[in-house]
Structure 1
């Protein structure tokens, strides 16, 4: 849980709450900020594609990813060069993908060997806790007299302290009894896994659907209320909803069909994505943050569990493909919004069109997952 909190909350998502503060300090503008965000998305995609090919044990990759993420985060605070920031956030994206894939393979393997798969919610709650923690840190530390660069260094220090626990755990327990430690590449047989293309496609549409709402909810909140103590709560609220929802779903719906819960989560996210388009107010942005944040990690947890269940011997390879699909989707989201902006009068109109497109993708994937859930297990496992 703490491993995912550091890798995702800091390595992937820390830029979202820190970006307005860097703009406040005159370090970034809208275009340069978009470039840095896109480089992180691209790094996440590259990291996911490479993760399954690395000849490194999962526990070792977790340790490598965490230590490197902390170093890269600190390096962001040590420079004011935009090209270096682009490169560093690209590396942070690569490392967060490696850590997510390795932690998922390691953690789900241990839970399976212990007969406690319902505890997967605790594992994946780490992402939401990391997002909420980074957001609350920025909310508390955002003093006009404290530079955003210093905050990057402080965040790296807190992440380093947090990472000590998972580093000690993976050192002591490198692999579960059911799946002995082996290089990641060696875990994947030559024959590709069966019936996972549909899951990858749905997970890609999920990445496309979630990223626009997750990226622009804090900005929408700031447009409505200029008090940073108010609009700054949008991101921690998003993360807290993500953390709580994974635990609740894994405990309360552990006997439910995974695909149906996944499909229902997509439908709830559709409402969250479309709500700011039809009702622009602080309550609507708050509800949207709860709906998108509350389903974001539930979908991630269910998708990873379903993919691993369908390809037990190819777990790392399949999880890497799923993560790569998600990364591709979230990379295409802002590009679609920017492309629509060339044919519309203003940014808000372009964003609304992109959100409608994202909702359509989520809706179509929900129908596919629901139909797939009606198939006998032997047809898709």
Structure 2
């Protein structure tokens, strides 16, 4: 009996496809629920509490600043602690999702929960990618990585379907968040089952802790070495990625609210539009990955940025459902692909310091996401008109496109100089 229990406790999953699917599940939980379920439930939250557009914008932005903090934390996680920290922060993500069922919480407690949820999303997103992708062999890495990142679209779709279903049978946002937490629980067991068994995770802990000053010195040295000879391309890509985060977040936060405002004759219009975002997000990585193999990541990223800028303008230029649904399709198709292309480009600048550079890029993206909703609600005014926010988002993306173009030129010059 004891032997059987030990065998069951020690059970592990090593199949690459299974690990990719677990990675997809993890991304759906920490990103789809931890970050984007708020978008799906926002119209109901604003009605039930009730909340002004300004407060809703701050609740969104506080989650994104948490994501910024989480990305920063992940940069200092030692490789041997990746799995343990992933388990910890995924657990925190599930708890903060479930906590929103508590009735009559103060606004300050909402802020705290959304902040901690953002931190958990930032850490778990980066660490899950590091842990899962390193499990794939080189030949299947691109395909299985697309499965892993497809979890973002799966989570967005699941958040729309879950919200739609529970609202239609008379429940409100509290039960939606509770059910999302319950759906997330099996992930913790599955993450335990993919615990690494190599020497990196089994080596003993070093009990000599570095001082804060020494940690800072080591980080500064690594940053200097990572950027040596590449400072201009890094700066251009970081700036463009920050504008990408700023550009997409207006739709990613307020699209269901815009739909509820404009499509008043359609029940649950906001959720059907949000479901479209999720479906097209699931499709995006395989499509753009195949295109990048033909024309390269930089040209693909430029095309995606231009397409997303066009998508931001469509709800302004085309009235009614067509403009909103077109925005949803383009948003889903582009934002995951832009993340994937940018992180790949950043990693390739200096592969030895890929984790550090990808962490810096994620910080820039999170900063853009933090600022975006605040600018949008400031421009929305008392009438809650989001057109100005969409227009500013489109302009920001076009500036980002110009920066990617200069990055392309700078990279070409450096390549020629090294030949």
Please classify the TM superposition score into its range, dividing by the shorter chain length. 0.7 to 0.9
CA contact (8 A) 1:245 1:294 kept: yes
> Which of these two proteins has the greater Rg computed from alpha carbons?
2
Residue of structure 2 in register with 1:304 after alignment: 343
C-alpha deviation, 1:189, in angstroms: 8.5
State the Cα RMSD in Å.
3.1
**What SS does the corresponding residue of 2:293 show, helix, strand or coil?**
coil
Q: Distance in 1 between matches of 2:359 and 2:279?
A: 26
**What SS does the corresponding residue of 1:336 show, helix, strand or coil?**
helix
Residue of structure 2 in register with 1:5 after alignment: 28
Residue of structure 2 in register with 1:14 after alignment: 37
Q: Distance in 2 between matches of 1:32 and 1:174?
A: 47
Calculate the TM-score normalised by the size of structure 2: 0.80
Q: Distance in 1 between matches of 2:199 and 2:126?
A: 14
Q: Distance in 2 between matches of 1:181 and 1:138?
A: 46
Change (3 A) 1:101 1:379: farther
CA contact (8 A) 2:154 2:282 kept: yes
Q: Distance in 2 between matches of 1:118 and 1:254?
A: 10
Residue of structure 1 in register with 2:102 after alignment: 78
Give the gaps of 5 or more residues in structure 1. Answer: none
Aligned counterparts, 1:110-125, within 5 A = 110-111=135-136, 113-119=137-143, 120-125=145-150
How many pairs are equivalent? 375
Give 1:158's match in structure 2, choosing from 183, 198, 203: 183
Range 299-308 or range 323-332, more displaced: 299-308
Give the gaps of 5 or more residues in structure 2. Answer: 1-23, 207-214
CA contact (8 A) 2:239 2:400 kept: no
Residue of structure 2 in register with 1:190 after alignment: 221
CA contact (8 A) 1:6 1:163 kept: no
Residue of structure 1 in register with 2:250 after alignment: 212
Query: Could you report, residue by residue, the CA deviation over 1:36-59 in whole angstroms, capped at 9, with x for unpaired residues?
Result: 112101111111122212346222
Residue of structure 1 in register with 2:10 after alignment: none
Query: Could you report, residue by residue, the CA deviation over 1:87-142 in whole angstroms, capped at 9, with x for unpaired residues?
Result: 0010010010101111222233334x534332222221111111111111111121
Residue of structure 2 in register with 1:280 after alignment: 319
Q: Distance in 2 between matches of 1:181 and 1:251?
A: 42
| 2:164 corresponds to 1:139 | yes
C-alpha deviation, 1:174, in angstroms: 6.8
Change (3 A) 1:339 1:220: closer
**What SS does the corresponding residue of 2:285 show, helix, strand or coil?**
helix
